[in-house]
Amino acid sequence: MIDPHLQHVPRLGRHPSRFRLAGTPVITVMLGSLVTTLPVIAQSPVMPPFGLLLLLSWRLLRPELWRTWIGVPLGLFDDIASGQPIGSAMCLWTVTLIGIDAIEHRMVWRSYRQDWLIASFAIIFCIAGGVFFARITGGGDIKLLLVAPQILWTVLLFPFVVRQCARIDRWRVMA
């Protein structure tokens, strides 16, 4: 039996905190970047870049949430967490966000399939760019075919990550 002294507190009319509104997307992207620190043993890169997936999900889900420069600090955090050359994710994520902005200015409306296509091109660009940065900074002779499974897994995982971001966003805007 429910205690009669406990009253349901209505959420209607209350506003979520500013930290909850602005901090939740940033924290989720940073936590996604930290997934690369988990001790997973693999012969080739197969783990999707969750930081990038969450960045793209938030950007395509809520375009008004961030400005383009957010790719610089979040990319720096991802570079530090993942061990990539410093500046690679900063550059690639910022260029990706600029490209998404340019596409959005040309499109009147977008559907879910178009978001998936935009994210697919962005994922291919960022992972191939990461291979390029690793190669020019002395990472050895890395072939693009080596990261093809990672690209495939990341593209296929994008709809699931967008759905999870939508759930987090629903919690974020509730009071």
Domain ranges of the chain: 18-34+48-173
Give the pLDDT means over successive 10-residue stretches in the chain (175 positions). 59 79 96 93 88 97 93 96 93 97 90 94 97 87 89 96 96 83
What is the predicted pLDDT for the residue at 5? 63
What is the predicted pLDDT for the residue at 45? 84
What is the predicted pLDDT for the residue at 8? 57
Can you read off the two tokens belonging to residue 166? 């939508």
Whole-model pTM?
A: 0.88
What is the predicted pLDDT for the residue at 98? 97
